[in-house]
Structure 1
Amino acid sequence: MAKNFASAGDLADKKISFDEIGRDLWAFTAEGDPNSGVIIGDESVMVIEAQATPRLAEKVIEKVRSVTDKPISHLVLTHYHAVRVLGASAYKAPTIVMSDKARAMVVERGKEDWDSEFVRFPRLFQGHESIPGLTWPTTTFSQSMTVYLGRRRVDLMFLGRAHTAGDIVAHVPDANVMFTGDIVEYHSACYCGDGHFHDWPGTLEEIRAFDPDAIAPGRGDALVGRDMVNEALDLTGDFVLSTYQPVARVAQGGGSLKEAWDACRAECDPKFSDYAIYEHCLPFNVSRAYDEALGIDTPRIWTAERDKQMWEALQG
């Protein structure tokens, strides 16, 4: 390859923040690294997103134990990506929840995604030796599922395709707080390599319809207050459209992937170049947008070898 993916050189530790965004609701964030969420009920705790390895998961557990000694009964995984799910064994949670579609994607492409992300994100996979294997849910659902942590209710919902075909959100009605996974980002690039550009804006509007008081996004700062929530929804929507539209014009006009890359950079660099993981996401985003513009509805499976071929085509 002409040069490594951007995240291959990102080896500096990130500052962890742990913010209460509603009563007994916490957002674990780390300067653009994958976020986790914590929901404390009367009897037990639900964690949203496992992190990439058991080593990283222990950092989340340490923060949980700083605010409660209640057992972790549920681990909710908003989608199938390796950096979100492979730390699951550390929680020892008896119930691990995914959507039906997310589980199907683990079957279809979970090992390939693990191999691909391992090369892309070396820092996140430090301590990978402790990963026991692919993460499998104990419970799945199609459209919605309600969990009671004692009296506290958590609604898990599929609101539409976006970051992947199987994304779910967690909504806590008593506080009107939502955990969105990578459907929503804040000053962090959206990874669209497995995304659905046409559906994503509508899914954002489904989230907006809840008028949340706070959101824990997939990456970036916790969003507290309706102004910050709506700003993040607007920025995420703008990122998705600004990525897709110039690429689609090139693809549908018979242009090359490299020409689509150049068109996307011209549109997105002025607005998003300072976003976390922007340079890392860009080649995958352009490739997926190019495919979708040509009518490929199901994202092609990323493998370590396909990553290299794509990057060489763009850098050659």
Structure 2
Amino acid sequence: MSKAFASRGDLAEKQTSFTEIGPGLWAFTAEGDPNSGVIIGDDAVMVIEAQATPRLAGKVIAEIRRVTGKPITHLVLTHYHAVRVLGASAFGEVQVIMSERARAMVAERGQEDWDSEFARFPRLFQGHEGIPGLTWPTTTFTDRMSVWLGRRRVDILHLGRAHTAGDAVVWVPDAEVMFTGDIVEDRSACYCGDGHFGDWGRVLDAIAGFRPAAIAPGRGDALVGEAMVARAIDNTRDFIDSTYRPAARVAARGGSLKDAWQAVRAECDPKFAEYAIYEHCLPFNVARAYDEARGIDTPRIWTAARDREMWAALQG
């Protein structure tokens, strides 16, 4: 029997948590659903990740209002994926920040990604009728920019290609805390369908080089303390390598995508089968790993039709 497509069978409501990971720094987490981050400065608040719909963004705003009445003035979107950005309108007239490359990906494939993710994640699109359209940044940067929330400096950095070509991380130097987006996950599968396996490890090295005291990952629990941070970075690296290596070996000998699927399953299932969204991500991950190993540098655009075709070929 084939598995339910992507996360269409995952309809159970997730328990959310709002955890302080540094002075005035919070992680909104939801049992493997997309996380958001909150930075409270002297006079204003910055949010990292908008959630998939304005209704879901309202849950983040409600948590913020439990701890501060300061205005939300900045919204950082670490990459272009629909489940991260389409709730932005709930935050009102704020400065919306993306890397220049992430903005280009909205233009190139934003609508296709919205259509694709809507079909994959019905539960994450509660209140989708309230989405006014694609989310566009009001401010972009190339390699780095800094925002001052009063005396608190926040650095927004593009460290290289990883989860997507336009990933940003957010670093708060006074507390040594980082918000990584989906570059780092905790006990959740990495979604690699738009990833760059050959670069991802170097970006993880760069993140580790900051020696964060805490990390808010893209999915999974807040990571507080050196041991938890190191474990999550190492597990993310293992997930990426364990996905790419078998697919690359198959591609090198001229094997098929189905051969790559079987090889990746053999290596990853024993280690990661219990991770959140593992079965959902695996076909997309194998397809991208197989493409990259065959020299396709830019990830092919996922459409709702391509999603279904690939799912039938691998998970069917």
TM-score (norm 1): 0.99
- After superposition, give the CA deviation of every residue in 1:286-306 in whole Å (9 maximum; x if it has no partner): 000000000000000000000
Query: How many Å apart are 1:93 and its aligned residue?
Result: 3.9
Distance in 2 separating the partners of 1:306 and 1:253: 25
Whether contact under 8 Å (1:42, 1:150) holds in the other structure is: yes
Structure 2 matches for 1:42-81, cutoff 5 A? 42-81=42-81
- Residues 315 and 33 from structure 1, CA distance in 2 versus in 1: closer, same or farther, beyond 3 angstroms? closer
TM-score by length of structure 2 reads 0.99
Q: C-alpha offsets along residues 268-312 of structure 1, whole Å, 9 cap, x if unaligned?
A: 000000000000000000000000000000000000000011112
Residue-by-residue CA offset, 1:179-198 (whole Å, 9 max, x unaligned): 00000000000000000000
- 1:54-203 equivalence runs, <5 A: 54-203=54-203
| SS of equivalent residue, structure 2 residue 197 | coil
- 1:6 shift after superposition: 3.7
- What does 1:28-39 correspond to in 2, within 5 Å? 28-39=28-39
Q: Using a 3 Å threshold, how does the CA distance of structure 1 residues 315 and 69 change in structure 2: closer, same or farther?
A: closer
Partner of 1:262: 262
Q: Tell me, what secondary structure is at the counterpart of 2:299?
A: coil
Alpha-carbon deviation of 1:315? 4.1
Q: Match for 2:200: what amino acid?
A: W
SS at match of 2:269: helix
Does residue 218 (structure 1) correspond to residue 235 (structure 2)? The answer is no
- SS of corresponding position for 2:125: coil
d(CA) in 2 for partners of 1:123, 1:4? 14
Following the alignment from structure 2 to structure 1, what is the Cα–Cα distance between the partners of residues 118 and 251? 30
Contact kept in structure 2, 1:72 and 1:93, CA below 8 Å: no
The question of whether the paired residues in 1 share the 8 Å contact of 2:38 and 2:48 is answered with yes
Gaps of 5+ in 1: none
Query: Is residue 9 of structure 1 aligned with residue 44 of structure 2?
Result: no
Tell me the SS of whatever aligns to 1:123.
helix
Amino acid at match of 1:204: L
Equivalent residue of 1:66, what SS?
helix
Secondary structure of the residue aligned to 1:198 is: helix
CA contact (8 A) 2:5 2:120 kept: yes
Q: Give, in angstroms, the shift of residue 2 of structure 1.
A: 4.7
Q: Secondary structure of the residue that 2:162 maps to in structure 1?
A: coil
Moved more, 97-106 or 86-95: 86-95
* Contact 2:188 2:278 survives alignment (8 Å): yes
- Aligned position for 2:293: 293
Q: Is the Cα contact below 8 Å between 1:75 and 1:93 reproduced in 2? A: no
Match of 2:238 in 1: 238
| Distance in 1, Cα, partners of 2:226 & 2:93 | 32
Q: Is the 8 A contact 1:10 1:123 kept in 2?
A: yes
Q: How many residues align?
A: 316
CA distance in 2 between partners of 1:291 and 1:77 (Å):
27
Q: Percent identity?
A: 75
Dislocated runs of 4+, deviation >2 Å: 1-4
